[in-house]
Amino acid sequence: METGCCGAQPLRVLEALRALSAVMQRPGAPPVTWFKESSRRNLRSRDFLVPKGALRKIYPDGKVPEDLIQRLSSLRAPGVPPVQKCLQDEAGLVIQLDRAFVFRAVLSDISPYLKPAPMEPLEREADVVILNCAPLHSCEGLGMFRLSHLRAVLLADHLAETLRMRGQQVHLLPALHNKEILDFLQHLQVSWPSIPDAAPAEEAVSRFQKYLKLCPCAGDAPPKELPPSVLFNIRLKLCAEQQKICLKGYDPNLDTFHVSRTDLLQVAALQRCHRESVDGVSCAVLHVVSCEDEFHQQKLDLLWRILDPGAASQKHLICGPVKVLNPPGPVSCSQYFHVRRSQMQEASVMKYGESVKGSSWTEIIDSLTSAAVRFEMMSTPHRSQVRLDLEDSNITTKGTKSGAFVMYNCARLATMFESYNNAVTEGFYPAFPPPREINYSTLTEEGEWLLLFNYIMTFPEVLQQSVRVSVASPGVRFTGNTEAVCKFLVNLSVDFSSYYNRVHILGEPLQHLYQQMFGRLQLMRAVQSVLHSALESLHIRPPAQI
């Protein structure tokens, strides 16, 4: 553990925590937990900590042996930043990293920090993921497209992009034929697949109907008792018992299923996509479901397994309800979108006046609206309720709940780099040197380390942990950290804004100040790259100006 070159691979916070824990581990003793510091106050003096109380559980006198402190101080391992100092103080066992080394290692090549961290060797993820946005199967027009449906689509869209960034193959279902819904989603920068040839689905539905007519657990629907759309009644528990399908994790009230043609078409689409995707690789299906449709989707899950013994492993990600506060009446997705867009337009006119017109501003306001809607729908954990206040002024200001706040800070960075490039062209500043030639020891302001350590270095883990689709995890429900990227972006924007308002990045054109300016500019380039990569996972275009 203590050999090797720490610069041989990207520096990872999680690797450091693992390595530090391994050095302190004693045979037969419980694992030692190191904590990464994140607050501005604590980062002034330390980066990792084992609290004093935890040390007393390991060492009766609370005193850490000197030889252990020496081993921690000289720790070298791949992906682990070198230690500047290790000591025991009143807080506990404290480590501060060699920050100049870390600044140089990270900022000299930012590319490894813009993609998800590698999976753990023992984690088995599906090679192919079929993301089935269940509410879309029953939407025949924008009038039936509810706010809860919109939330499910935005979550599925983000999950798909995050999985692709990890190198997994993703298929989105269902393909849509309704142009009105497709156009509406396009306004929110969601490119959903359109309907393919329907003939294979019709053939599959015909096969399913023939099977169910002969199935002893299924019977034709009584015409007087059920709607005409119901084709069959299936006793799910009896079918599952006969086919030895395990029902662990399913709702215990699952029994009779009134199967409609829409249900059979959904199964046909899933079966077709699965069979076309599987070629010696593992495949998982993730149903993104509104909470009101969870029970029905479990029935469909079982129906597919009954009709097709080769069905893929299935999980259900449940989206909580969307509630509009004090609505004057029912609020459609279209109304919600236009309210937010009008607010973005009004806020832009109030700030920038009559210049807010033309195609460039139309694009900016569209992007601001998309960001506002996505952050509102996605900043809450997917199982929790989303509460929309259509009169909320914070949506259009620099309030920290707003996606517009993130976009505003992206625009500040873009404007700053444009100013620098113009100054270089005019001969006011020298050209930017290669990143490896910059003297990063000039980065000593506390906000600079906070941006690097809390955000740039941790972004790969945020992407990696936001969704993990395992082919073997127990249970039917799936829980993802789908809110993680939105929260990360808002927190990064808060700390960047604080730093930007406090520090002069583009200083006087004096020779002795250039190295500090270049170091800060490179740090800002890294922050900008992380912002853009995170926004890309949400399919939000960062603005060049606001």
Residues 6+ apart with CB under 8 A from 512: none
- Other CB atoms within a 10 A radius of the CB of residue 390 amount to 16
Q: How far apart are CA 456 and CA 531, in angstroms?
A: 9
Q: Which residue has the tokens 């100092």?
A: 85
Q: How far apart are CA 447 and CA 408, in angstroms?
A: 19
Closest CA to 119 of 454, 463, 482: 463
Task: Specify the 3-state DSSP secondary structure of 292.
Answer: helix
Give the pLDDT of residue 122: 52
Residues of the chain with pLDDT under 50: 1-7, 397-400
pLDDT tens-digit map of 115-172: 998 776 555 677 899 999 999 998 878 888 999 999 999 999 999 999 999 888 999 9
Q: How far apart are CA 357 and CA 345, in angstroms?
A: 10
Q: How far apart are CA 447 and CA 500, in angstroms?
A: 9
Closest CA to 500 of 394, 426, 417, 389: 417
Residue 159 structure tokens: 């999950």
Q: How far apart are CA 358 and CA 331, in angstroms?
A: 30
Options 3.40.50.620, 3.40.50.970, 3.30.420.40, 3.30.1550.10; CATH for 128-323 is: 3.40.50.620
Give the pLDDT of residue 471: 58
Beta bridge partners of 80: none
Beta strands in 320-409 (DSSP E): 322-324, 386-388
Enclosing H/E stretch for 273: helix 261-277
Closest CA to 172 of 184, 187, 157, 189: 157
Q: How far apart are CA 106 and CA 281, in angstroms?
A: 35
Give the pLDDT of residue 267: 93
- Exposed, middle or buried: residue 40 (CB in 10 Å: 0-12, 13-18, 19+)? middle
Residue 357 structure tokens: 């017109």
Alpha-helical regions (H) of 147-255: 147-165, 179-187, 199-214, 236-242
Task: Specify the 3-state DSSP secondary structure of 193.
Answer: coil
Residue 345 structure tokens: 């337009």
Q: Which residue has the tokens 């509460």?
A: 387
Q: Please, what is the end-to-end C-alpha distance for the chain in angstroms?
A: 49
Residue 370 structure tokens: 């998309």
* CATH number at 13-97: 3.30.1360
Give the pLDDT of residue 469: 65
Task: Specify the 3-state DSSP secondary structure of 251.
Answer: coil
Beta bridge partners of 258: 233
Give the pLDDT of residue 5: 42
Do 200 and 219 contact (CB within 8 A), yes or no?
Answer: no
* Domain boundaries along the sequence of the chain: 13-97, 128-323
Q: Which residue has the tokens 């990464």?
A: 36
Give the pLDDT of residue 71: 94
Give the pLDDT of residue 106: 97
DSSP label at residue 225: T
Closest CA to 417 of 517, 539, 537, 499: 517
- Regarding beta strands 386-388 and 322-324, do their DSSP bridges make them parallel or antiparallel, or are they unpaired? parallel
DSSP label at residue 81: P
* DSSP codes of every residue in 308-329: -TTPPEEEEEEEPPEEESS-SS
Buried/exposed code over 308-333 (b: 16+ C-beta within 10 A; e: otherwise):
beebbebbbbbbbebebeeeeeebbb
